[in-house]
């Protein structure tokens, strides 16, 4: 038996135990992509030939008893801002020019060295500048939780979120500058990890805002995001594999539970404007954490979330214009007209405004940490609503109210599914930690995953697969 919604760890274990063939699994994955992706539009490119060769190599390795690493035989996808030698990096843009790099991004090499099989590149908002997940020129992926109404897939890592949620790959890479891993993870009902800035190298990745850019994993399980963190941050591959197989190190941390932790709930004033079903799911998650031994208390924050959202947007606009302004300044350039004003908003920012925002981050972080004193993490809904119809998305705004604070303040954060609305759309829970406390936030997320029965819900795509 084979399940295309198995996690990366489950697959590696089956490959090593010779219960499943990497090549057989890859062929079934490619078949599913051919069936579903014409509708879902998650991939901009699929590398069938190379993937089959890599799957054959993984199969030979496990037959000899020498797995290649913690992703041996596991197909993965890259957001199309990440370089792959000899393959186009479009950045989701019809105007950037077709860059064909001679070398891989550092994170590409690390994933391949871990035994992962690169199956292709996924769609993104143009130059990764947008949270709704739309792309006028190259197409917007379809949120797999509703095949009758085209809903927001979340951005900017839209294709990666859809690909994982739909069972096209168990693991994908996105990037998070203001929420671009967590937003698609939330609206697609999967797990997304935003790491502390500087943890994962940016070389070989198209920049949006170098001050805030952080690559990160999107996956179907918390443990898979932990595997991604270990690989992407450069830990030695044999050590990761042994830790994973024997539940040591970070993987032991995931099993510890939440007893004794102090969880900070967001201030009551921040609940205004949040959808009732999202708040209900949030409150239920708080109750679950408390029932499992955590202390939950509501705290006051020094600033409203919209303050952090504004300053994050200012930095993104200034640095986004620095990198991409020349293209978007051209009125005839074939760019996404929803993205154009976001990039051009950086054109008129003064050096003083920009430097105040960048230099003020440290002071704001100190004040924020003081407010969090005595608490281990802060938790919020990831987004104020479940996925909305595309035609209701206000492109002059960003759905990143609760996510941008982690970017601006240099924190880490993970988002996990925490329920379904009455109409069957995922809701999501965000856990924000101090810098470099990824093991702690993943530990809390893993506890919520166990309370969900060890598996998060998946969208029903069987009719589409049959068709």
Residues 6+ apart with CB under 8 A from 136: 336, 337, 338
Contact 9, 227 (CB under 8 A): yes
CA–CA distances in Å: residue 234 to residues 49, 64, 106, 194: 28, 26, 9, 16
Catalytic residues: 79, 156, 180
Structure tokens, 265: 């709930």
Strands of the sheet with 171-176, listed across from one edge: 43-46, 117-122, 75-79, 171-176, 214-219, 191-194, 412-420, 426-433, 377-381, 262-265, 295-298
HEC string of 16-39 equals HCCCCCHHHHHHHHHHHHHHHHHH
Q: What is the CA radius of gyration of the chain?
A: 21
Contact 44, 123 (CB under 8 A): yes
Long-range contacts of 274-277 (CB under 8 A, 24+ apart): 274/381, 274/384, 274/385, 275/384, 275/385, 275/386, 277/386, 277/419, 277/421, 277/422, 277/427
């Amino acid at each position: 038996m084979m399940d295309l919604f198995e996690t990366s760890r489950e697959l590696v274990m089956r490959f090593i135990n010779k219960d499943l063939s990497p090549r057989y699994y890859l062929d079934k994955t490619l078949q599913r992509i051919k069936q579903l992706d014409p509708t879902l539009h998650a991939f901009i490119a699929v590398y069938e030939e190379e993937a089959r060769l890599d799957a054959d190599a993984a199969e030979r390795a496990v037959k000899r008893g020498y797995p290649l690493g913690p992703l041996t035989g596991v197909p993965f996808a890259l957001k199309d801002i990440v370089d792959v030698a000899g393959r186009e990096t479009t950045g989701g843009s019809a105007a950037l020019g077709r860059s064909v790099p001679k070398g891989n991004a550092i994170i590409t090499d690390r994933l391949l060295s871990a035994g992962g099989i690169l199956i292709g590149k996924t769609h993104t908002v143009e130059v990764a500048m947008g949270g709704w997940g739309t792309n006028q020129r190259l197409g917007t992926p379809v949120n797999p939780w509703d095949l009758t109404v085209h809903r927001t897939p979340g951005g900017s890592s839209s294709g990666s979120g859809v690909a994982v949620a739909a069972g096209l790959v168990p693991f994908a890479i996105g990037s998070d500058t203001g929420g671009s891993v967590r937003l698609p993870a939330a609206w697609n009902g999967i797990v997304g990890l935003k790491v502390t800035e500087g943890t994962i190298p940016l070389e070989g990745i198209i920049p949006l805002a170098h001050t805030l850019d952080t690559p990160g994993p999107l996956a179907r399980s918390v443990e898979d995001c932990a595997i991604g963190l270990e690989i992407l941050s450069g830990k030695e591959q044999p050590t990761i594999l042994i830790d994973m197989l024997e539940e040591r190190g970070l993987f032991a941390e995931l099993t510890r539970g939440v007893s004794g932790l102090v969880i900070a709930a967001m201030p009551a004033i921040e609940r205004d404007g949040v959808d009732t079903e999202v708040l209900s799911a949030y409150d239920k998650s708080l109750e679950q954490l408390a029932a499992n031994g955590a202390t939950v208390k509501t705290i006051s924050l020094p600033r409203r979330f919209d303050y952090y959202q504004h300053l994050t947007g200012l930095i993104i606009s200034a640095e986004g214009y620095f990198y991409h302004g020349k293209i978007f300044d051209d009125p005839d350039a074939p760019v996404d007209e929803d993205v154009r004003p976001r990039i051009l908003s950086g054109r008129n920012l003064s050096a003083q405004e920009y430097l105040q925002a960048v230099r003020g981050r440290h002071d704001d972080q100190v004040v924020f940490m003081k407010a969090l004193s005595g608490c281990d993490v802060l938790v919020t809904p990831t987004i104020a609503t479940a996925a909305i119809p595309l035609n209701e998305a206000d492109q002059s705004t960003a759905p990143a109210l609760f996510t941008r604070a982690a970017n601006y303040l240099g924190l880490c954060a993970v988002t996990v599914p925490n329920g379904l609305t009455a109409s069957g759309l995922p809701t999501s829970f965000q856990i924000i930690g101090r810098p470099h406390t990824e093991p702690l936030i993943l530990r809390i997320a893993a506890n919520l995953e166990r309370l969900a029965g060890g598996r998060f819900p998946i969208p029903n795509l069987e009719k589409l697969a049959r068709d």
